[in-house]
Amino acid sequence: MTALRGYGKRVMVTGGAGFLGSHLCERLLARGCEVLCVDNYFTGSRQNVAHLLDNRLFETMRHDVTFPLYVEVDEIYNLACPASPVHYQHDPVQTTKTSVHGAINMLGLAKRLNAKILQASTSEVYGDPSVHPQPEDYWGHVNAIGPRACYDEGKRCAETLFFDYHRQHGLPIKVVRIFNTYGPRMHPNDGRVVSNFIMQALRGEPITIYGDGSQTRSFCYVDDLVEGMLRFMDTGAEHTGPLNIGNPGEFTMLELAEKVLRLTGSSSPIVHKELPQDDPKQRRPDIARAKALLDWEPQVPLDEGLARTIAYFRQRFVT
Ligand code: NAD
Ligand code: UDP
Ligand code: UDP
C-alpha cells in the first residue's frame, strides 16, 4: 500500500519549511515516515508547516545547514537554499555557503549514517543554455562571476561534492535537477515570475514583464515535482542521476502574463522592465530519462496548476 511505503523510516528534509519542502514533508508523512524538518526560516516559514505540527511523526528543528548537524535518520532530502533570484542575491555569500558548506555537512552526516541523500539541484546548472531542450548530459553555459553565480555555481559545486562522496565513499546519492516549479505556499514576495504575476493581477497592479517577454520557461506544478522526487528516492543505489524533473510545456513570459490575466479576470496593464543580467533566454527540460526510469511525467497542465495557485494566493493574501 502506497500510504505505508515509508512506514517507520526516519526522513530528514532540510529546507522543509520552504515552498517545496513543506509539500514534501506532507507527502512523506502521508507515507507513514517520521519526518524531521530542518530549516533556518530564511525564506521558509513555520506557517508553511503549521498544519503538520499536530502529527506525532513530525518534528521541526531550527538549524542553519552551514553548521554541522548530528542527528540519526535513514534518508535525507537536502533542499535548504533560497531559490528565487531576489532571495539568493540578497546575501550571495551566504547563498554559496548554504549550497557548498551545507552540502558538505549533509554529506558528512549521510556518510556517518550511510544514509541515502537526495540533492535538490536546479536547471540553473545549465545557465543560459545553448542546447535546447536541456538533457542531463549538457554541461551548461554559466557565467562564473555574474549576479546569478552564487546560486548556479554553488549548486554546481554541490553536485560535484555529491558525486565525489559517491565515488570516494560509496555514498548512495540522488541528484535531481528541478526546473521552475510553482504552486501554493510560494512566497508572495520572492520575486519569482509566477508569484509576482499572480499577486500583481490580484491587486490590480501592473504586470511586470522583464525585457520583451519572449524569454521562455517551463513550469511544473508542485505535486508533480514532489511525486518525481519521491519516485527517484525509491530507485536503487545505481541510479544517482543527475535527473531532470520538470514539465516540458514551454511558454514565453508574455504568454504566462496573458494566462494569469485571464484566469484571475484582472484588468491589470502589462508594463515592461529592464531584463536582469544573465537572464536565461530559454529553458525546457528533456525528461526522457525520468520518464524511462520512474514511469513518471507531469499530470497537471499549466492552466489548472495556475488556477489552484491563484485560489491559494487569493484566499491567503488578498481577502
Ligand atoms: P524556498 O526558498 O521556499 O525554500 C528553501 C528553504 O530553505 C526555506 O525554507 C529556507 O528558509 C531554507 N534555508 C535557506 N537557507 C538555509 C540554511 N542555510 N539552513 C537551513 N535552511 C535554509 O524555495 P523552494 O522553491 O522550496 O526551493 C527548495 C529547493 O529546491 C532549493 O534548494 C532550490 O534551489 C531547489 N529548486 C527549486 C526550484 C523551484 O522552482 N521552486 C527550482 C530549482 C531548484
Ligand atoms: N558532519 C555533520 N554531521 C555528522 C557528520 C559530519 O554535520 O554527523 C559534518 C562535519 O562538519 C564534517 C563534514 O560533515 O566536517 C564533512 O564530514 P566528513 O566525514 O566527510 O569529513 P571530515 O571533515 O569529518 O573529515
Ligand atoms: N520575470 C518577469 N517578471 C517578473 C519576474 C520575473 O518577466 O516580475 C521573468 C524573469 O526575467 C525570467 C522569468 O520571468 O526571465 C523567470 O523568472 P524567475 O525569477 O521566476 O525564475 P528563473 O529566472 O530563476 O527561472
Q: Which of 186, 192, 179 is nearest to 134 (CA)?
A: 179
Q: Is residue 151 annotated as part of the catalytic site, yes or no? A: yes
Residue 207 within a domain: no
Instruction: Give the distance (Å) from ligand 2 centre to CA of residue 103.
Output: 10
pLDDT at position 4, please? 57
Domain count, the chain: 1
Residue 166 within a domain: yes
Q: Which domain holds residue 17?
A: 10-186+221-248+284-300
Q: C-alpha grid cell for residue 279?
A: 537572464
Query: In the predicted model, is pLDDT for residue 250 greater than 80?
Result: yes
Residue 289 within a domain: yes
pLDDT band at 317 (very low <50, low <70, confident <90, very high): confident
Residue 69 within a domain: yes
Element (H, E) at 149: helix 149-169
59-86 pLDDT tens trace: 999 999 999 999 999 999 999 999 999 9
Residue 40 within a domain: yes
Which ligand lies nearest to the CA atom of residue 15 in the structure? 1
Catalytic entry in 77, 151, 165, 221: 151
User: Is 18 a pocket residue for ligand 1 (Cβ < 6 Å)?
Assistant: yes
The residues, ordered by sequence, that sit 6+ positions from 116 with a Cβ below 8 Å of its Cβ are 74, 75, 76, 110, 172, 173, 174, 233, 237
Residue 256 within a domain: no
